[in-house]
Amino acid sequence: MRTRFSVPSRKRRRRVLDRAKGFYGASSKQIRTVYDAVTKADSHAYVGRKQKKRQYRKLWTIRINAACRANDLNYSQFIHGLKLIKSDLNRKMVSEMAIHDQEAFNALLLQVKEALKK
């Protein structure tokens, strides 16, 4: 006779049901629906982790561009200038500098402008 409600089965279902806590309606109660909901949530989470990287890079670009335009330079010229001075700063660092440390950012801008004039 085939067992359907053995301890491992109950344990596996309980684990999946626990992951569906907080889901709405049958998505947190009925095991078939829960499997679908948890699988979909996992796939959304996977995609979201990839999108987060893109979105942050976009945000850093926008911040750098805004700070550069306030100083009569655009983003692409600034990045080109960074390459010319062989700077190891990445976009995240430059973005944080533009927001929290204006003096350092302005010093960097001066270096970039000098490199672009040559």
| Residue 1 counted as domain residue | no
| Residue 48 counted as domain residue | yes
**Phi, psi of 4, rounded to the nearest 5 degrees:** -110, -20
| Residue 86 counted as domain residue | yes
| Residue 4 counted as domain residue | no
pLDDT tens digits along 41-85: 999 999 999 999 999 999 999 999 999 999 999 999 999 999 999
| Residue 3 counted as domain residue | no
Range of the domain at 30: 10-117
pLDDT tens digits along 95-107: 999 999 999 999 9
Residue 48 sits in a domain of what CATH number? 1.10.1900.20
| Residue 57 counted as domain residue | yes
How high is the pLDDT of residue 5?
A: 87
The Cα 14–Cα 21 span in angstroms is 11
Count of domains observed in the chain: 1
| Residue 5 counted as domain residue | no
| Residue 87 counted as domain residue | yes
| Residue 100, Cβ density class (10 Å: 0-12 exposed, 13-18 middle, ≥19 buried) | exposed
